[in-house]
Chains A and B, each alone.
Chain A
Amino acid sequence: AQSVTQLDSHVSVSEGTPVLLRCNYSSSYSPSLFWYVQHPNKGLQLLLKYTSAATLVKGINGFEAEFKKSETSFHLTKPSAHMSDAAEYFCVVSDLRSSNTGKLIFGQGTTLQVKP
């Protein structure tokens, strides 16, 4: 069965400094992995996805993530945080390849705080 673990429930950075949100996954299949962002009172928005192509995935708003099979990790990074990045971030795995349902399995979320 697939699962994801977000290693930090809360991350605080200063504006202009790098962001690192950590995620480890567990999957018996070659996984499809995603990062979604949820701003207060707004819907979930896809930041980026990995589907077995390039291991370094670039997403929207300057975010990127690197798939490391040896470490079973899919950490999200951004070189320079902006105030508008403050939100809840979810690491997600899809079960499409194992069950054909395609349901998404979410991590617990990481709250990113950006200080001026």
Chain B
Amino acid sequence: DTGVSQDPRHKITKRGQNVTFRCDPISEHNRLYWYRQTLGQGPEFLTYFQNEAQLEKSRLLSDRFSAERPKGSFSTLEIQRTEQGDSAMYLCASSFGSQETQYFGPGTRLLVL
């Protein structure tokens, strides 16, 4: 048990709908990361927060994606107008300070029909 939790674990939606995922990091961790993993591939970085500030976004994060981390605690990732290509596992990870070890949550598996 890494201590990072994600909700929901699974989400099935129809193309064009909006979805929102939540990540609760380990409580003292100030860094939070979102990754996306498609079938048969390694996870790819999406975005990074240090406390409540979103400091980096990948080119993979189109304008349909938005992430927040109010108050530097939990984070949400929203996808608007979902497309079938958004189907993937969305992973959240957290770490503390400059320590490089990231602890991953179980992921949210999204299927867009």
Contacts and interface: CB of A to CB of B under 8 A. Distances in A.
Interface stretch (B13-21, B42-50, B69-77): B42-50
Given A43-B106, A109-B42, A96 B100 contact: yes
B90 interface: no
Residue in A51, A103, A107 with the greatest tally of chain B CB atoms within 10 Å: A103
Q: How large is the interface on B (under 10, 10 to 19, 20 to 34, 35 or more residues)?
A: 20 to 34
Nearest to A103: B45
Interface string A68-108: 00000000000000000000001010101001011111111
Interface in A32-82: 32, 34, 36, 42-46, 49, 51
B105 interface: yes
A37 to B, nearest CB: 11
B100 A32 contact: yes
B100 A43 contact: no
A109 B106 CA distance: 18
Contacts of A45: 2, 104
Contacts of B42: 90, 92, 106-109
A101 B48 contact: yes
A96 B41 contact: no
A105 B101 contact: no
Given A44-B43, A108-B41, A109-B42, A102 B100 contact: yes
Interface of B: 2, 4, 31, 33, 35, 40-45, 48, 55-56, 91, 93, 95, 98, 100-107
Interface of A: 32, 34, 36, 42-46, 49, 51, 90, 92, 94, 96, 99, 101-109
